Structure 1
Amino acid sequence: MHQLKASGKSPSPTGSFIAGMSWRDYAPLFLFAFLVKLFLIPSYRSTDFEVHRNWLAITHNLPSAKWYYENTSEWTLDYPPFFAWFEWILSHPAQLFDAKMLEIDNLQYASSGTVLFQRLSVMASEMVFFAGALRIVQHVRDRRHRLIFLGIIFWSPGLLFVDHIHFQYNGFLYGIQLFSISAMLQNQPIIGAILFATILNFKHIYLYQAPAYFIYLLRSYCFRADRFSFPNFLLLGAATIGVFTASFGPFIAHIPQIIARLFPFKRGLCHAYWAPNFWALYAFGDRVLIHVARIIGLSAGVETASLTRGLVGDTVFGFLPDIKPVHTLLLTVLSQVPTLWKLWSDPTPARFIDSLILCGFGSFLFGWHVHEKAILLVLIPLSLLVRKSPEYARIFYVLACTGYYSLFPLLFRPAETVIKTITLVAFALFGHHFLAMLHSVHGKSSSDFQVLPWERNYLQGLIPLFLYTELIHPVFLGPDKFQFLPLMLTSIYCSVGILYGWVILYQLGIS
């Protein structure tokens, strides 16, 4: 069985990798991806494009004390301070492309220079992700397996959809996390903790995975030979607090305002497009009960449309109990307890990665106002385990196909329909082929990697779902009639596959 291995030695980020491979081996992987992303520069952009343009303008023109108060645009700054400083850094070269993009009141500005700069900035920052992937795969001895492993991690359709079409900056953050995970595998807990604290101060969604880091670091570093090491605890605490001090220290007088921006709990339980999680099935069940009640002459006391708008405080159920943030927190914690307990009992690097994935997964399934894009918190770390066993490779394949398909509603124009379809079909075909190669029986053409019959049938069910939501519904019913139906069908169908994947992963992760 292939394992991610830990050692007492710490190789350089690329040293031992390059010793086994030349630039000719892995450069094509990066260059091909780069050319594809160049081709996507003029593609669809979501409102997140304007969000980041506005943040460039805010950080460039205002003193830092005013960054988290500026509200000329509805897209106010609501990421932690490190990301604000990242935008401030980007704002300086942005002037060379089009200085008008840095005007705060120049809302919805999207000149060709602005588009080019913002797209290129995503590509440039994603080099951190590629470097992190190189760091992860450097221990793999077999050249062919190393290239396949690198491709599976780096060629993520999810990052292509979310970062390079929809528009966000996720790649470099996952790159930092890959370096953090690598540090954990190489027995460098302080470096791993510092890097994780760093990404927390770039994007607070990584709080979902914080329990796994906390338990692993506490148990493996602060307890030695079943004795608590107070010096290690102080060192770990000082390193972590140091990162947060560097981030929030300059904003010490404005922390309440920043917290209010970072955690807007007044939003509803479900986003406008239901993330494919437990609450999508819960909301769907309530809608079914409402319609059944109408058929038999009962009053539900709530409009079904109120479940779909994703507005502030707008999630009210007709028959099932209303859900509050505290309920989602309780379910999330309960979903994480078994894997955290197993991690405490067996604090190994392999167990840490399992727990990291399951903590993020539990938060995705049961969290408050979860976005569909958060599935990447599961899929990116899970891609690191495709060599661990055929079972992990199989469930990664099922979850990846389902999770990436669940992102389709983000890209709704006809031109992007072609792009996303080709991308996912290519991933499904080539991904299956290369995962089978990773687990091929030595000296034989057969492989231990096999998708189970019911999993194959489920994935094939994505085809009629696609035909209806992307072709039949818009052509025969139009975009305005039963507008939420395609979104709901996508969410519900993908929820089933994702919940199935969670159950299987839990069985693997705590076995």
Structure 2
Amino acid sequence: MAAPMEESWSWFPALALGVSLVKCLFISAYHSTDFEVHRNWLAITHSLPVSRWYHENTSEWTLDYPPLFAWFEYGLSHVARHFDRSMLLVENLNYASPSTVLFQRLSVIFTDLLFIFAARECCRCVQEQKGSRDLLNRPSFILAVLLIWNFGLLIVDHIHFQYNGFLFGFLLLSVAKHLQAQHLQGALLFAILLNLKHIYLYVAPAYGVFLLRSYCFTQDNKDGSVRWGSFSLRRLLALGGIVVSVCALSFGPFIAMGQLPQVLSRLFPFKRGLCHAYWAPNIWALYNVLDKGVVVLGAKLKLLEEAELPRASMTGGLVQEFQHAVLPSVSPSVALVCTLLSILPAVAHLWLRPSGPGGFLRCLLICALGSFMFGWHVHEKAILIAILPLSILAVQSREDAGIYLVLTTTGHYSLFPLVFTAAELPIKVLLMLIFVIFSFTALRKLHSSQGSLLHPLESVYLLGLAPVAVACEVVFPLSPWQQKLPFLPLLVTSVYCSLGVCYSFLRMYCSLLRGHHKHKQM
């Protein structure tokens, strides 16, 4: 991938400082149950011996991240005790003193420094337009804004509350290392990431195939093509050593204590059900609403006896198992097969027709979206795994920029229900508008010589988000339906947004298989 021109980066610290100051403004904002989740994990790791970490269940929010994240919480707890020791007591459920809130918020802001550093490394990987002094004609500047000021991360981490920025720092830094052909470093960073949060298994197939095909075989050409006869056992052993070492460091103590089955049962709780508390905008949202639609239509046409049908409480807002009323119910194994089938063509394409780091990044994105589309118990926040890396391609290709605008607008709006309090409504609307306006304006100007970024129907679909937002955020809360159908806005949001996510997934696949991206190698 081409290195950017050596020009002044004086604007980068200003971007980073500006977003950090904005994050500080959200310290006293609404926070979700995830705030208590992480406070409880601080208490567990600080107050209990390691042997009890994955057995403790005083709170319903038990430790269910991999061991490296548990050690991360353990490290944070030693700083937390200087703010308020009471937050580190396991029995202090739902504890949220002002000092606790301040510490938790600052811990997210501070650990985001890794994400900011990773964003800069990614910006150094994109190809600049020579001789341009206008920042909106500099892909590195646009990419920095799209990453550091990402709307989804701002509301998910700094209002709703999580540590996604810290985790995405590892992902983006790993991607940057692969784009810079530093594959062992990239593999190490991704192995660490998997042992911090296992949701990144979504993109593991892209990493495995790329490293085996384009690192363990000697590269011949600049486009990343390889000779089949030049397999390097030494490189394979080096990669295997990295993965095994990180996993041994992470899981080793629990294996020694005979607790590996208990840890894995926490990491993969398949009894949580097909969908999360509200539906992520994926194929299962459409499947669920189709099931409900068939029930209603069948009852009205007297083809079905509604009283005899099972009650599928898929919009109850709770994490639970359920059975579809008419359509076949989906099991974890079915979801897994669907996920694997959805990513198989992309993975096969990466193996059979490797096209360097750019091909790896495209396969990573399809793996992320395929897992989001068909995975079991997918969290709505997982859409960011696709949106953030796609930013890198969006500043390099008009085709990818169009896909990015559809996916980021749809995916980000689908996160609106995470922040449902009235006080934060103006904040999320303003942040969303600013980010969308910048994304459209900057990418259109950057690719202005290559034609329109969106097709007319795509524009119509995105404009449709405005009436959906008004209906769900303003009209519905004032209507009598709020008491009768409290989760209707979640259903409408998820179903409408799932159309855009599904479309983006298909369009990205078409772009990959057509080889559209070959006009601009990374």
TM, length-normalised to structure 2? 0.91
Contact 2:275 2:319 in 1 (8 A): no
Q: Which amino acid aligns with 1:56?
A: L
Q: Which amino acid aligns with 1:330?
A: V
Query: Residue 321 of structure 1 corresponds to which residue in structure 2?
Result: 328
Contact 1:270 1:315 in 2 (8 A): no
Contact 2:346 2:366 in 1 (8 A): yes
Aligned mate of 2:153, from 135, 153, 159: 159
Contact 1:269 1:369 in 2 (8 A): yes
Residue 424 of structure 2 aligns to a residue in which SS? helix
Aligned mate of 2:426, from 411, 418, 441: 418
Query: Residue 341 of structure 2 corresponds to which residue in structure 1?
Result: 334
Gaps of 5+ in 2: 219-226, 515-522
**1:302, CA displacement in angstroms?**
3.4
CA distance in 2, matches of 1:257, 1:335: 31
Query: Residue 215 of structure 1 corresponds to which residue in structure 2?
Result: 209
Contact 2:277 2:319 in 1 (8 A): no
Q: Which amino acid aligns with 1:285?
A: L
State the superposition RMSD in angstroms. 1.6
**1:223, CA displacement in angstroms?**
2.5
Of residues 77-86 and 268-277 in structure 1, the stretch that sits farther from structure 2 once superposed is: 268-277
Aligned mate of 1:241, from 239, 244, 248: 244
CA distance in 1, matches of 2:239, 2:44: 34
Deviations 1:103-134 (A, max 9, x none): 11011010111001000100000110110010
Gaps of 5+ in 1: 8-15, 442-446
**1:311, CA displacement in angstroms?**
5.2
Contact 2:31 2:159 in 1 (8 A): yes
**1:310, CA displacement in angstroms?**
6.2
Whether 1:377 aligns to 2:385 is yes
CA distance in 1, matches of 2:42, 2:8: 39
Equivalence map 1:22-421=2 (5 Å): 22=9, 24-139=10-125, 140-142=127-129, 144=135, 145=138, 146-224=140-218, 225-227=227-229, 228-252=231-255, 253-297=258-302, 298-300=304-306, 301-309=308-316, 314-347=321-354, 348-421=356-429
| Residues 312 and 153 of structure 1, relative CA distance in 2, 3 Å threshold | closer
Contact 1:6 1:187 in 2 (8 A): no
- Deviation beyond 3 Å, 4+ runs, structure 1: 139-143, 300-305, 309-313
Residue 64 of structure 2 aligns to a residue in which SS? coil
| Residues 304 and 428 of structure 1, relative CA distance in 2, 3 Å threshold | farther
CA distance in 2, matches of 1:370, 1:484: 18
Deviations 1:156-185 (A, max 9, x none): 101011100100000011111111111111
Aligned mate of 2:496, from 493, 498, 511: 493
Contact 2:142 2:395 in 1 (8 A): no
Query: Residue 517 of structure 2 corresponds to which residue in structure 1?
Result: none
TM, length-normalised to structure 1? 0.93
Query: Residue 459 of structure 1 corresponds to which residue in structure 2?
Result: 462
CA distance in 1, matches of 2:428, 2:232: 51
Query: Residue 439 of structure 2 corresponds to which residue in structure 1?
Result: 431
Deviations 1:193-219 (A, max 9, x none): 111010000000000100000000111
Of residues 56-65 and 297-306 in structure 1, the stretch that sits farther from structure 2 once superposed is: 297-306
**1:275, CA displacement in angstroms?**
0.6
Residue 97 of structure 1 aligns to a residue in which SS? coil
Contact 1:290 1:304 in 2 (8 A): no
Query: Residue 7 of structure 2 corresponds to which residue in structure 1?
Result: 20
Query: Residue 444 of structure 1 corresponds to which residue in structure 2?
Result: none
**1:26, CA displacement in angstroms?**
1.1
**1:305, CA displacement in angstroms?**
4.6
**1:428, CA displacement in angstroms?**
1.6
Aligned mate of 1:509, from 488, 508, 512: 512
Deviations 1:53-111 (A, max 9, x none): 00000111111111111111111100001100000010011111111111110110101
Query: Residue 10 of structure 1 corresponds to which residue in structure 2?
Result: none
CA distance in 2, matches of 1:332, 1:299: 34
CA distance in 2, matches of 1:275, 1:477: 26
How many residues were matched structurally?
Answer: 492
CA distance in 2, matches of 1:448, 1:177: 32
**1:450, CA displacement in angstroms?**
2.5
Q: In percent, how many aligned pairs have the same letter?
A: 49
| Residues 344 and 310 of structure 1, relative CA distance in 2, 3 Å threshold | farther
Contact 2:312 2:323 in 1 (8 A): no
CA distance in 1, matches of 2:288, 2:263: 31
Contact 2:272 2:321 in 1 (8 A): yes
Q: Which amino acid aligns with 1:388?
A: Q
CA distance in 1, matches of 2:452, 2:69: 40
Of residues 312-321 and 180-189 in structure 1, the stretch that sits farther from structure 2 once superposed is: 312-321
Q: Which amino acid aligns with 1:128?
A: L
